[in-house]
Amino acid sequence: MRLHVVLALTTLAALACKDTQSSLAHTPIRVVFLTEPSDAAANAPIAGSIDIGIVDGTGTVRNDATAAVTIAIGTNPGGATLSGTSSVNAVNGIASFTGLSLDKAGTGYTLVAGSAGLTPDTSRTFTVTP
């Protein structure tokens, strides 16, 4: 009888751990650039939308995520200032930034996206022409 109780408790504990791991895998953990910034001219909007996804441990965009996502200059070779809306609430797990611009030319700029409690992401490099 004692063996059956130990086996039953061990099985229940293992199932509880599996459920915990499964739910942790689907918890938002980081932001990622889904659409990278393109090259642009100084003081002109970066073309298109820069989309940032809130993803879970499996890399899946969390469609239920609505957190505020911020964007800022990371690497700043030209000493530029970022203009435009720099904080956007995610809709269906995606924050879309449009109309962003930098005011000084330079090669090798990056943007950094972040959200409270989540691991940030850095964009690929891009160029701002005069």
The larger pLDDT score, comparing residue 12 to residue 90, is at: 90
Which residue range is the domain that position 39 belongs to? 28-129
In a domain, 78, yes or no: yes
Prediction pTM value: 0.82
Q: What pLDDT is attached to residue 7?
A: 39
φ, ψ at 14 (rounded to 5°): -65, -40
How many domains does one find in the chain?
1
- Which residue spans within 46-109 are E strands per DSSP? 50-56, 68-73, 82-83, 87-89, 94-97, 101-102, 106-109
Residue 22 lies in a domain: no
> pLDDT band at 21, cuts 50/70/90?
low
Assigned domain for 16 exists: no
- What CATH number should be reported for the domain holding residue 33? 2.60.40.10
pLDDT on residue 23: 58
